[in-house]
């Protein structure tokens, strides 16, 4: 078998394969100096999103049901809340307590064995 010489590609094919010589630039709207300053100020005012941490923990069933009861209670008061938000609210409440109240709250929480519970 003899090899046939390759045909030169047509102009349409060459145009598709060849990158265009002129880069396409998007028109940017002209911004006055006052607008530029206000936009920079807005960027500074925007808070960075906090870095989130995922964790797991063991909690007694009775205390876990209290979380569900508190969720329903919030719903009756006209707001919906997630379990993680309830826990975060509790953390904020503990952080705002004076030392004596904080120690008292810690003493009423029973210690639990850490790790995964046994499957029964």
- pLDDT tens, residue by residue, 46-70: 778 889 999 888 889 999 999 999 9
**Is residue 21 domain-resident?**
no
69 belongs to a structural domain: yes
Residues 68, 62: Cα–Cα separation, whole Å: 10
Mean pLDDT value across the chain: 80
Domain presence at residue 114:
no
The reply to whether 46 falls in a domain is no
Query: What single DSSP character describes residue 68?
Result: H
Domain span including residue 70: 61-107
**Can you tell me which residue has the tokens 């090899």?**
3
Is residue 38 in some structural domain? Answer: no
Question: Is 49 contained in some domain?
Answer: no
What pLDDT sits at residue 49? Answer: 85
Task: Identify whether 91 is part of a domain.
Answer: yes
Domain count, the chain: 1
Name the nearest CA neighbour of 69 among 89, 83, 88, 55.
83
Residues 92, 103 contacting (CB under 8 angstroms): no
Q: Look up residue 2 and give its DSSP letter.
A: P
Residue 75 domain flag:
yes
Which comes out higher in pLDDT, residue 76 or 27? Answer: 76
């Amino acid at each position: 078998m003899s090899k046939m010489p390759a045909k030169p590609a047509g102009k349409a094919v060459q145009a598709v394969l060849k990158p265009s010589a002129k880069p396409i630039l998007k028109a940017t709207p002209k911004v006055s100096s006052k607008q530029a300053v206000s936009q920079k100020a807005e960027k500074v005012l925007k808070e960075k999103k906090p870095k989130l941490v995922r964790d797991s923990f063991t909690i007694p069933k009775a205390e876990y049901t209290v979380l569900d009861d508190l969720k329903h209670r919030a719903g009756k008061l006209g707001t919906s809340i997630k379990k993680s938000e309830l826990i975060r609210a509790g953390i904020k409440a503990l952080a705002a307590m004076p030392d004596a109240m904080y120690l008292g709250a810690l003493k009423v929480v029973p210690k639990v064995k850490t790790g995964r519970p046994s499957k029964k």
